[in-house]
Amino acid sequence: MVGDDLKTELPTGETVRFAHLDYAASAPCAEAAAQAVAELLPRYGSVHRGTGVRSQTSTVAYEVARDVVAEFVGARPGDQVIFTRNTTDALNLLARALPPSTTTILFEGEHHANLLPWPNQLRLPAPKSADEAINAVENALGGITGPAVVTVTGAGNVTGEVWPIREISDIAHAHDVRVIVDGAQLAPHLPANLDHLGADFLAFSGHKLYAPFGGGVLAGRADWLDAAEPYLYGGGASATVGDRPGDLTWATGPARHEGGTPNLLGAVAIAAVCAALLVADRDALHEHEQRLLTRLRRGLPEGAREVSLFGPDHPRVGIVSLALPGHDPAQVAHRLGREYGIGVRAGQFCAHPLVRRLVNAEKSDTCDAPGAGLLRASWGLGSTEDDVDRFTKALAEILRS
């Protein structure tokens, strides 16, 4: 990873390697992404517009990037890959592309990016097990008469738990209902393949997938996307424009929702990481993350309690959130950063309803500072045992003091 050896100075004057345990917010940049961007920069130009070598090279690079991402997500014939700014952007785009009067079935525990954009919501309470999630979707679908869609996270950004997407998709499809997967925390850790997940749409962010150049992805069924109003009106999205207002035809295909000059470097960076992950031993990467999880759990000091919806044995990615009864997580995070050179995150992680629920479940002696929330450590490619050990040791010292 670029910047693996970043150093930071502690108040004691000591210099230490910065331990980045905030991958769930933004992961470090992969060498492959940095290299792809560096290689393109000297030839960089406008996409889809010019005739010179810069523009032609850039257009090819952009469309090759789309093809690589299509392979990464296991796009089926007819699926589209649209480059967006991030997951939030991708899900907002899709929310505006839903057929009229569609009811969106979702759980209250979603990240705000997958909670707020949807119209006509049927919000289900956060489930206590994967089976409960599946049953809740089935019951909800049974009570719906009009068009509906289910949107669900692939892996939760608070608990790291992996959701039963395949089962939910199978049930939804049996009711002729499509499934959208928020893959922001899934894609960096586990294969996020539309076909294997049985999902109809998938969204994810470059900056969480080791490609922090401002890009994101929405992939999935073309029909809703081609029928929808363009996400942004302007050049690229329009095919022909007449003299009078409204006298125009819109493009179909990805261009319809990529109005304006696209983020070429973002797309190329994402594709570089996708290409690397396509040939990587993902089982080995997953096992490494799981070893770090086990190590972190073993090292957790008394007074730090891991929160979960589905219980400790449920599969999860490299994310752990902790309730710290009697302590303010924000202050603990601040001290970890300043005194120990460790970056984590504290608060409610843009999932306020879920964190409220999890904190309330710990209520008896949890610090009740307004919005105190939880402390989250998250890791991925390039994370080390030393990162985890430093975190648990520092946390123990802080909780003792």
Active site residues: 350
Using rule CB under 6 A, residue 73 touches ligand PLP? no
In 3D, which of 81, 68, 82 has the Cα closest to residue 33? 68
CA 189 to chain centre: 10
Using rule CB under 6 A, residue 169 touches ligand PLP? no
Q: Which one of residues 80, 103, 104, 153 is an interface residue with ligand PLP (CB under 6 A)?
A: 153
Cα four-point dihedral sign 29, 32, 33, 34:
positive
**Residue 146 CB, nearest approach to ligand PLP (Å):** 27
Using rule CB under 6 A, residue 263 touches ligand PLP? no
Residue 331 CB burial class (10 angstroms; 0-12, 13-18, ≥19): middle
Collapsing DSSP states into helix, strand and coil, what is residue 78?
A: coil
**Which one of 180-188, 292-300, 303-311, 323-331 is the stretch in contact with ligand PLP (CB under 6 A)?**
180-188
CA atoms within 13 A of residue 31's CA, in its CB half-sphere = 4
The CA-atom distances, in angstroms, between 69 and each of 6, 8, 15, 141, 290 are: 30, 35, 40, 32, 26
Using rule CB under 6 A, residue 111 touches ligand PLP? yes
How many residues at the interface with ligand PLP, by CB under 6 A? Answer: 14
**Residue 368 CB, nearest approach to ligand PLP (Å):** 25
- Contact set for ligand PLP, span 348-367 (CB under 6 A): 350
Site track 11-40 with ligand PLP (rule: CB under 6 A), x = hit: -------------x----------------
Q: Which one of residues 58, 102, 104, 157 is an interface residue with ligand PLP (CB under 6 A)?
A: 157
**Which one of 74-82, 106-114, 272-280, 329-337 is the stretch in contact with ligand PLP (CB under 6 A)?**
106-114
Using rule CB under 6 A, residue 185 touches ligand PLP? yes
Nearer to ligand PLP (CB atom), residue 24 or residue 179: 24
Using rule CB under 6 A, residue 87 touches ligand PLP? yes
In 3D, which of 194, 178, 177 has the Cα closest to residue 186? 194
Site track 189-218 with ligand PLP (rule: CB under 6 A), x = hit: ----------------x-------------
Distance CA 68, CA 274 (A): 7
Site track 298-337 with ligand PLP (rule: CB under 6 A), x = hit: ----------------------------------------
**Residue 89 CB, nearest approach to ligand PLP (Å):** 6
Residue with tokens 């009811």, as numbered in its chain: 103
Provide long-range contacts, Cβ within 8 A and 24+ apart, for 168-174: 168/133, 168/134, 168/137, 169/197, 169/198, 169/199, 169/200, 170/198, 171/134, 171/137, 171/138, 171/141, 172/137, 172/141, 173/198
Distance CA 309, CA 340 (A): 30
Distance CA 4, CA 17 (A): 8
Using rule CB under 6 A, residue 378 touches ligand PLP? no
Residues that bind ligand PLP (CB under 6 A): 24, 86-88, 111, 113-114, 153, 157, 182, 184-185, 205, 350
